[in-house]
């Protein structure tokens, strides 16, 4: 998991200790020895998570966190406070300042790594949304952050808890911070979350015939609940279950006995993050629908690709990660139009787009490049894997005929060219040229095939 972690502490020995532990997990580590230096690094550099000491001279960690969260340019960066303070009131103060998590020294390796990896995963999702929204040039980040705080209506937490007494205590602790829907049966809870929606799902462990982590897995598998925040409530000694839950995608956890103030602050943090990311998705969806979407296929158009590909290539180069491009061209498409009419050609394009979209990941960028040509940009995908994806697309097109308007079918094939980023200094134009040359070779070689450009 490649990410940049900023360690902020005025004591060099503490910085070195965290740096060694993080580098052992293959994180890139940046360091700062004071609040002002930390703020500057966050504003000027690509920081994925901040590990922030509280007790520092001149500017303490609480103030650093407040400033980071108040600035729209840095508000999305997760902050973990690391301190010797061990009172619940200190944790609550840190969370109220905007911290995403709070660890007490000496920091347990399991807690440190699971918290950091979880926040890196969430930051990656937010980065992707921000990048796509920024491409539209109409993101309005500051307004979204205000909207996340000012949204009308009380948030709703769904509690999956078979113990009625524990559920009543949870309601008392939460108080008026949010509405609570308690569902004892995990399958009923899954249905409620998918059909009626909620702002956070809280899953409690305990003596039960149901595995609570199966609920987490199912929530993350469903399209409607994939991005809903999930909190896990566990008992003492359930570190293994916590670790497994974080691997499955929980956003946070609390250990019994619960502190009411900390529970409320952590819930509010999940509500705030969900509404912020919901606003980002809405901005992307609404703006792109008109400005950068091909009306026939529903895919992004070339205008979007030309802008967004530059950002994706720059990010891959900055982080040292792989990136591949695939260009697909429907074989003998002009003959389809000439023989069956343009309505048939349009139907083929729509069906091709649907099959293409079904064979790629959500983070991949798929665009109609023009006419019968399509481009797929695959972040974090090396050349070998990109070739496998291209072959999968080719097979999905050739495996069964395409339906035509008014009845009938037609056999369709596609040729594909693949190229991958070759650092250092590879240019977007050169990358696209290699993919286009590979496509040309596939066409000349008999069509209905995949050709990967030589590195």
Nearest to residue 378, comparing CAs of 368, 1, 367?
367
Our separate counts of H helices and E strands in the chain read: 16, 17
Which residues, listed in sequence order, are joined to residue 325 by a DSSP beta bridge?
A: 377, 419
3-state secondary structure 283-318: HHHHHHHHHCECCCCCCECHHHHHHHHHHHHHHHHH
pTM: 0.54
- Contact predicate 51/27, CB 8 Å: no
Note down pLDDT in tens along the chain; length 455 residues: 578 999 999 999 999 999 999 998 889 999 999 999 999 999 887 799 999 998 898 899 999 999 999 998 898 899 998 877 667 677 778 878 888 888 878 888 877 888 888 888 878 877 776 776 665 544 444 454 455 445 557 899 999 999 999 999 999 999 888 999 999 999 999 999 999 889 999 999 987 778 889 999 999 989 889 889 999 999 988 988 988 898 888 988 898 999 888 899 889 888 988 888 887 777 666 665 666 788 899 999 998 898 899 999 999 998 889 999 999 999 999 999 999 999 999 999 999 999 999 999 888 999 999 999 999 999 999 999 999 999 999 999 999 999 999 889 999 999 999 999 998 889 999 999 999 999 999 999 999 999 998 75
Nearest by Cα to 157 from 260, 221, 230: 230
pLDDT of residue 376: 97
Task: In whole angstroms, give the CA distance from residue 426 to residue 428.
Answer: 7
* Token output for 365: 């960028």
Tell me the CATH class for 1-135: alpha beta
Q: Taking the domains of the chain in order of start, what are their residue ranges?
A: 1-135, 150-282, 292-452
* DSSP track, 417-454: EEEE--SSS--HHHHHHHHHHHHHHHHHTTSS-EEEPP
Catalytic residue among 372, 399, 409, 441: 372
Tell me which CATH code domain 150-282 carries: 3.40.50.2300
Task: Please determine whether the domains at 1-135 and 150-282 fall in the same fold group of CATH.
Answer: yes
Task: Tell me the pLDDT tens digit for each residue of 100-139.
Answer: 888 878 888 877 888 888 888 878 877 776 776 665 544 4
For 292-452, which CATH superfamily applies? Reverse transcriptase/Diguanylate cyclase domain (3.30.70.270)
Position 228 scores a pLDDT of 94
Does residue 25 have an active-site annotation? no
């Amino acid at each position: 998991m490649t990410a940049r972690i900023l360690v902020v502490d005025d004591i060099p020995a503490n910085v070195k200790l965290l740096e060694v532990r993080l580098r052992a997990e293959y994180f890139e580590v940046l360091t700062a020895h004071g609040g002002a230096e930390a703020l500057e690094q966050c504003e000027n550099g690509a920081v994925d998570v901040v590990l922030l000491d509280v007790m520092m001279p001149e500017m303490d960690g609480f103030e650093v966190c407040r400033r980071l969260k108040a600035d729209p340019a840095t508000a999305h960066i997760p902050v973990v406070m690391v301190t010797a303070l061990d009172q619940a009131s200190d944790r609550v103060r840190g969370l109220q300042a905007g911290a995403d998590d709070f660890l007490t020294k000496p920091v347990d390796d399991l807690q440190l790594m699971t918290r950091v990896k979880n926040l890196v995963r969430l930051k990656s999702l937010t980065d992707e949304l921000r990048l796509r929204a920024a491409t539209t040039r109409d993101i309005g980040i500051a307004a979204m952050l205000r909207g996340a705080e000012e949204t009308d209506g009380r948030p709703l937490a769904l509690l999956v808890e078979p113990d009625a007494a524990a559920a009543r205590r949870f309601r008392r602790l939460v108080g008026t911070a949010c509405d609570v829907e308690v569902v004892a049966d995990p399958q009923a809870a899954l249905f409620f979350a998918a059909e009626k929606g909620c702002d956070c799902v809280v899953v409690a462990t305990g003596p039960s015939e149901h595995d609570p982590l199966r609920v987490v897995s199912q929530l993350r598998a469903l399209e409607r609940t994939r991005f809903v925040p999930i909190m896990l409530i566990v008992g003492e000694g359930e570190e293994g279950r916590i670790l497994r839950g974080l691997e499955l995608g929980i956003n946070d956890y609390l250990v019994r006995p619960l502190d009411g103030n900390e529970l409320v602050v952590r819930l509010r943090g999940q509500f705030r993050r969900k509404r912020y990311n919901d606003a980002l998705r809405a901005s992307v969806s609404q703006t792109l629908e008109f400005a950068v979407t091909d009306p026939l296929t529903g895919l992004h158009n070339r205008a979007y690709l030309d802008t967004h590909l530059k950002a994706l290539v720059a990010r891959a180069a900055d982080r040292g990660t792989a990136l591949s491009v695939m260009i697909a061209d429907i074989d003998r498409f002009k003959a389809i139009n000439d023989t069956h009419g343009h309505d048939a050609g349009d139907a083929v394009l729509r069906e091709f787009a649907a099959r293409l979209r079904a064979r790629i990941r959500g983070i991949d960028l798929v665009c109609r490049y023009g006419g019968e040509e399509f481009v797929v940009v695959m972040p974090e995908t090396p050349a070998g894997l990109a070739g496998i994806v291209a072959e999968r697309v080719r097979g999905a097109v050739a495996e069964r005929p395409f339906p035509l308007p008014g009845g009938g079918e037609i056999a369709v094939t596609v040729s594909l060219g693949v190229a991958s980023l070759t650092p250092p200094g590879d240019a977007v134009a050169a990358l696209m040229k290699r993919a286009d040359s590979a496509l040309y070779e596939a066409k000349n070689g008999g069509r209905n095939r995949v050709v990967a450009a030589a590195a």
